[in-house]
Structure 1
Amino acid sequence: MQIDRATLERIQELAPRLAARAGTRVLEGIAWPREVEERFFASGESSLPEVSYAPDRDALRKRIAELEELLRGIDGDSPALEWLRDCVRGQIEGAALLEAAGTRAFYERSCALYGSARTSFFGGAMRNVDLAQHLSARLSIHGWDEASDPPVEPLDANALRELLTARIEARSPRMDVQVTLDARITAKVVAGMTRVRIRPDAVFARWEAEGLWYHEVETHALTAHNGAAQPLLTFLRSGGPRSTRTQEGLALFAELYHRKLSIARLTRLATRVRLVDMAEQGASFLDLYRYLREQGAERRDAYFDAQRICRGGLVEGGAPFTKDACYLAGLLEVYAFFAAVLRGGLRDEVEMIACGRISLGDIAVLSALRAAGVLARPRYLPEWLCAWETLLPYFAFTSFMDGIDLGPVEQHFRTLLDVADVAGPHAAQKNEERPARKVSSPRQSGGSRRS
């Protein structure tokens, strides 16, 4: 794909105008105040939360009108100009989503942007909820193993702040990200491009702290900083909802690749897809909360996850915020992209995924813009991408494994699987009544966060 001179000049003219209008803070606009949480627990957890939204609708409509005017001015049929139009449409859709907060239209716009629990992959039969159910089943049973990880003391809010701050300071080149404590936030952690806020009373498992680093700082903050550092296309600092699936998938890939995506974390992500599905079928906030409590979730964790699904929509049910349905879909798509592209050794094209907050569908055009000198290489690279010598072998091997039918393999090891299924933890107990099989608890040891 080559970009002609006239197209480049048009992009150079329009990009600053889009940058001046980019960035709708949807999550901040639909966040529930801390008082809603306090009232819910003070009332005995028996009443639907009372939530009102007050976005500046006049300002949002004005912004939408300005973006629509900008969109009408982008004429031409080149792929680069169509991509620019998609970027403008994404900003319009983000503003329209926030403008509809608290109404059923919010849910309809959310589905158009993020998909739903029953959205399928690549037009096939497999849906988001099917992937979630598969993962839940695979993660639920661990057999009779006596082996276990040594206990690790959790981190309090101050310890997490110090950990993240130290890692940010040690980065080269260093990113300007501040880590602070904030008692006003509802979630345990809220992260943006330049600030990570931590709830002072929050406690974090070690795996959760590590996951936060790779998810929030090494991915979301990093891609936003790379977008802001672009010489011309600075609007890539804020990709809007159109980039969410890719960005969340990329962040989860970083957790997975660095072995920080724990059983509890992945189970929780799968459960959230199920919650979206329940809410789409009519479940209210209370239905979701009680379901989570029945599954073993702690009170605060159940509240956090139920409010994630209901924020911006209707607490009565039937109109949730569907963003949580796209995380696992994003991971699947990002992994598939790497599996397909890395086997060709296309390092420059893989690097494009970190040049800003983008969608996977943007990479072909962005590669052409980079060749034309309009787009700069990302200034900051995530750790996994810096380690090319170990990244490429990983996908070279797994690309072969992807084609192997595991049915015969499982049959080959059937004897071992059967023995593991009936064996007790100790030989001395073989004549005793067999205890119940160990099953992983749905209890979520890590709390809610923005991601």
Structure 2
Amino acid sequence: MSTSTELLESARQVDARLTELERSVNLLLNVTPVNAAEAWADFERSDFGTAPTLRLRPLDFQPDLVRRDLYNLEIEDVADPALHSLLRTKRDEIARMVTALEDRDTSRFVYGTLQLYGGVTAPLARAAEELLEAISPQAPSAQTVTAGVFAEAAQEEFDRYQAAYPEFPVSFEVRDDVSELMVSFGRLLIPETAAIRSDRVRPLLHHEIGTHVVTYQNGARQPLKLLTIGLPGYDETQEGLALLAEYLTGGLDPRRLRVLAGRVVAVEKLLDGAEFLDIFESLRTDYRIPTRTAWSIAIRVVVGGGNVKDAIYLRGISRILDLLAEGGSLDPLFVGKLALDHIPLIQELLEREVLHPPWVRPRWLDVPGAQERLDRLRAGASVMDLYEGEEAA
């Protein structure tokens, strides 16, 4: 049998090049509007009657050259079957990303996002409707913090990780060209115009830093660098894990659950042919979602010509709950960015010492009450069980 060193040597160059190519494509930033604040102001001035014009940044890569590089990679030379399959599947996923980005602002874009993220199944749609029906609408919180205050809280959270792991890098910035909190290749990006609910600050730090940044940094310590950018289809599991972090730390409150359900409803309406104004008005009138929240949900779904990604949040936490009820361990999910379907492969590679155990343990596993909540979920739970009444969880 080949040694782990020999196996990695055969895959190393392909892995490094795939990682580099996905970084150049940068799907997340390239489907994020650069004018969201101005678009909201215009929409508000129109008395919510004129659909916004959302601008996306120009692509800074040449799609044909990326495709050429992708299919010039000699994946056939990777002898190990598990690594060969993984690298080939990732190559094909990056090719789909490139095509989707080429199709931005056309009717074809939504089909590209369907290939990347999947659609809305009947059980998922029912779960979303049940949440929206069971949880009564609540007035938007009047207490918010600015981007600067959130950045200070982020610095403190990074400091906590550095205290336990001195080499853990601090990586965040306030940006004027993003409209939502996000982590891009391990760096936390904070919108300059952010107005974040005060009671959401800690849960969001566990979501963004404690999950997305931590798994990125754990992946960076692995021989396979694809674990930093994500194995094929990793997004759903990452977001489900991040929502679990919110729940375990008491931050998956009724308002948040309604947003997650509203995102599924919005994607379903998009796939049924609805446009921005119809989606926005339905969220406001049929589901009594606050105006600014309905706006945020709707633009995320229609951007670029239609993006179904937001359905993965509720689907992701549902599948994490299934994993816990089946007695599955979360530990393999901290190795890097991967999907639930990759757990057997990751466990095999850990046993063969091709991969290393996770470097950083997320802080959200150890906050007071987290293990008790986790035990309750292991006894069996659905997304409806995450709703704990009208008080914040």
Aligned match of 1:89: 92
The letter of the residue matching 2:31 is I
CA deviations 1:231-268 (Å, max 9, x no partner) are x2112111166211111111111111222101000111
Aligned match of 1:22: 22
What is the deviation of 1:205? Answer: 2.3
CA deviations 1:375-425 (Å, max 9, x no partner) are 12221111244689974x76565544569xx9xxxxxxxxxxxxxxxxxxx
Aligned-pair identity in percent equals 25
TM-score of the superposed pair, with normalisation by structure 2: 0.83
The letter of the residue matching 1:26 is L
What is the deviation of 1:354? Answer: 1.1
8 Å CA contact 1:154–1:203 kept in 2: the answer is: yes
Cα gap change, 1:165 to 1:396, in 2 (>3 Å): closer
Of 256, 267, 273, which aligns to 1:276? Answer: 267
What is the deviation of 1:358? Answer: 0.9
What is the deviation of 1:303? Answer: 2.1
CA deviations 1:193-225 (Å, max 9, x no partner) are 443333444332233112211111101111112
Q: Within 5 A, what are the aligned runs for 1:98-109? A: 98-109=101-112
Corresponding position: 1:335 with 2:321: yes
Q: Which stretches in structure 2 are left out of the alignment for 5+ residues? A: none
- SS of the counterpart of 1:127? helix
Of 113, 116, 121, which aligns to 1:113? Answer: 116
Corresponding position: 1:209 with 2:219: no
Q: Within 5 A, what are the aligned runs for 1:316-395? A: 320-342=306-328, 350-385=330-365, 391=371
CA deviations 1:142-166 (Å, max 9, x no partner) are 9xxxxxxxx9954333322222211
Of 171, 174, 181, which aligns to 2:174? Answer: 181
Corresponding position: 1:167 with 2:160: no
Distance in 2, Cα, partners of 1:99 & 1:57: 12
The letter of the residue matching 2:39 is V
What is the deviation of 1:78? Answer: 2.1
The letter of the residue matching 1:334 is I
What is the deviation of 1:127? Answer: 2.6
Aligned match of 1:250: 241
Cα gap change, 1:388 to 1:66, in 2 (>3 Å): farther
CA deviations 1:1-41 (Å, max 9, x no partner) are x9776655422453233333233321211222224334333
Cα gap change, 1:364 to 1:169, in 2 (>3 Å): same
Give the CA RMSD over aligned residues.
Answer: 3.3
Cα gap change, 1:265 to 1:229, in 2 (>3 Å): same
8 Å CA contact 1:68–1:92 kept in 2: the answer is: no
Q: Which stretches in structure 1 are left out of the alignment for 5+ residues? A: 120-125, 143-150, 314-319, 407-438, 446-451
Aligned match of 1:61: 64
The letter of the residue matching 1:133 is E
What is the deviation of 1:328? Answer: 0.8
Aligned match of 2:281: 290
- SS of the counterpart of 1:282? coil
- SS of the counterpart of 1:261? coil
Distance in 2, Cα, partners of 1:263 & 1:58: 41
Cα gap change, 1:177 to 1:77, in 2 (>3 Å): closer
Distance in 2, Cα, partners of 1:44 & 1:98: 32
- SS of the counterpart of 1:311? helix
Aligned match of 1:415: none
Aligned match of 2:34: 33
Cα gap change, 1:310 to 1:152, in 2 (>3 Å): closer
Aligned match of 1:264: 255
Equivalenced residue count is 376
- SS of the counterpart of 2:91? helix
Corresponding position: 1:237 with 2:233: no
Q: Which stretch shifts more, 362-371 or 33-42?
A: 33-42
- SS of the counterpart of 2:62? helix
The letter of the residue matching 2:66 is R
The letter of the residue matching 2:26 is R
